[in-house]
Structure 1
Amino acid sequence: MEALGDRLHTVWLCIEVPRAGGRLLETGTEEFLQLKNDGALGNIPVVVVLTKYDKFMDHVERTLNDIDLDDLSEDAFRDRVRQRADAELHDICAQPLKKFVELDIPYATVSTKETHKGMIARLIQITEERVCQHVASEASVMTSVAQRVDPKLKITTSIGVGKRKYWKALASATAFRGHTALACLEVLHTDIVRVWNFSDPHHYLDSKEFKTLMVTVVNHMDVGSIAQPNRTVTFGLSAVAAIAGITSALSGPAAPIVVPIMATVVIGKWVYDVYQLSRVVLRHFIAYIVDLTLILQTLYLVSDSQELSRRTIKLAVASYLKSATSADVHGRIQECNRHLPLSERADQDTLNQIVELMKLFSMEAKDISGLKAQIPAFGSGEDEQW
Structure 2
Amino acid sequence: MKLSVGETFHLRVGYKRWFGLKHDEEDIAFEPEEIFRIYGASERQEYIKFHKKIRIVVELSGNTTEVAQVASSSGKNSELQPTTDEISRICPRFRILVIGKTGVGKSSLINQAFGVEKTLTSHEMPGKAEIDTEFISQQNGRFVLHDSKGFEPGEVDNLQIVRDFIQRRRNMSALEHQLHAVWLCFEIPRAGGRLLETGTEEFLSLKRDGTLGNIPVVVVLTKYDMLLDRTERTLDALVGSNDETIKELTKNKAEAELQNICIGPLEEFAGPDIPHAVISTEECHKETLARLIRMTENSVRQHLAPEAAVMASIAQRVDTGLKINASIEVGKTKYWKALASSTTFKNRKTWDCLNVLHIDIVAVWNFYDPHHYLRSQEFREMMVKMVDTLEVGPTADPSRTVAIGLSMVGTIAGIMAALAGPAAPIVVPIAAGVVLAVWAHDVYQISHAVLQRFMSYIVHLTLVLQTLYLVSENQELTRRAIKLAVASYLESEMGREVHTRIQEYDRKLTLLTRADRDALDKIIEVMQFYSISAAQMSDLRAKIPAVGSLPDESWDMEPAKS
Q: Which has the higher contact order (CA 8 A, sep 6+)?
A: 1
Matched, 1:40 2:211: yes
The 8 Å contact of residues 14 and 49 in structure 1, kept in 2 or not, is answered as: yes
Moved more, 364-373 or 83-92: 83-92
Cα drift, residue 284 of structure 1: 0.5
Q: Is there any run of 5+ residues in structure 2 with no aligned partner, and where?
A: 1-171, 556-562
CA spacing shift, 1:239–1:182, aligned 2, 3 Å = same
1:7-18 equivalences under 5 Å are: 7-18=178-189
Q: Is there any run of 5+ residues in structure 1 with no aligned partner, and where?
A: none
Matched, 1:225 2:398: no
Select the residue among 307, 325, 329 that pairs with 1:138: 307
Cα drift, residue 185 of structure 1: 0.5
Query: What residue identity is the alignment partner of 1:10?
Result: A
Matched, 1:376 2:545: yes
SS of equivalent residue, structure 1 residue 255: coil
SS of equivalent residue, structure 1 residue 348: helix
CA spacing shift, 1:172–1:374, aligned 2, 3 Å = same
CA spacing shift, 1:302–1:195, aligned 2, 3 Å = same
Between Structure 1 and Structure 2, the one with more strand by share is: 2
Query: What residue identity is the alignment partner of 1:230?
Result: V
Cα drift, residue 15 of structure 1: 0.4
CA spacing shift, 1:381–1:216, aligned 2, 3 Å = same
Q: Which residue does 2:88 correspond to in 1?
A: none
The 8 Å contact of residues 351 and 441 in structure 2, kept in 1 or not, is answered as: yes
Q: Which residue does 1:267 correspond to in 2?
A: 436
Query: What residue identity is the alignment partner of 1:56?
Result: L
Q: Distance in 2 between matches of 1:183 and 1:227?
A: 33
Cα drift, residue 345 of structure 1: 2.8
Q: Which residue does 1:166 correspond to in 2?
A: 335
Cα drift, residue 116 of structure 1: 1.9
- Structure 1, residues 232-262: CA drift from partner, whole Å, max 9, x if none? 24353121122123236xxxx1521111215
Q: Distance in 2 between matches of 1:55 and 1:376?
A: 28
- Structure 1, residues 154-183: CA drift from partner, whole Å, max 9, x if none? 111111111112101112133211211111
Matched, 1:124 2:293: yes
- Structure 1, residues 3-43: CA drift from partner, whole Å, max 9, x if none? 11111111101001010310010111111111112322100
Q: Distance in 2 between matches of 1:311 and 1:264?
A: 23
Matched, 1:110 2:283: no
Matched, 1:53 2:224: yes
Moved more, 86-95 or 30-39: 86-95
Q: Distance in 2 between matches of 1:148 and 1:190?
A: 18
Query: What residue identity is the alignment partner of 2:395?
Result: S
Moved more, 286-295 or 218-227: 218-227
Q: Aligned-pair RMSD on alpha carbons?
A: 1.8
Q: Which residue does 1:255 correspond to in 2?
A: 424
The 8 Å contact of residues 144 and 154 in structure 1, kept in 2 or not, is answered as: yes
Q: Which residue does 1:244 correspond to in 2?
A: 417
- Structure 1, residues 287-306: CA drift from partner, whole Å, max 9, x if none? 00000000000000001110
Q: Which residue does 2:136 correspond to in 1?
A: none
Moved more, 176-185 or 259-268: 259-268
The 8 Å contact of residues 47 and 127 in structure 1, kept in 2 or not, is answered as: yes
Cα drift, residue 268 of structure 1: 5.8
Cα drift, residue 263 of structure 1: 3.6
Cα drift, residue 203 of structure 1: 0.4
Aligned length: 380
Q: Distance in 2 between matches of 1:236 and 1:158?
A: 20
The 8 Å contact of residues 226 and 327 in structure 1, kept in 2 or not, is answered as: yes
Matched, 1:188 2:360: no
CA spacing shift, 1:95–1:306, aligned 2, 3 Å = same
CA spacing shift, 1:98–1:310, aligned 2, 3 Å = closer
The 8 Å contact of residues 471 and 547 in structure 2, kept in 1 or not, is answered as: no
Between Structure 1 and Structure 2, the one with more helix by share is: 1
Q: Distance in 2 between matches of 1:108 and 1:171?
A: 42
The 8 Å contact of residues 258 and 318 in structure 1, kept in 2 or not, is answered as: yes
Query: What residue identity is the alignment partner of 1:62?
Result: R
What's the % identity of the aligned pairs? 56
Q: Distance in 2 between matches of 1:380 and 1:268?
A: 36
Query: What residue identity is the alignment partner of 2:188?
Result: V
The 8 Å contact of residues 188 and 262 in structure 2, kept in 1 or not, is answered as: no
Cα drift, residue 95 of structure 1: 3.1
Q: Distance in 1 between matches of 2:199 and 2:431?
A: 61
Matched, 1:205 2:346: no
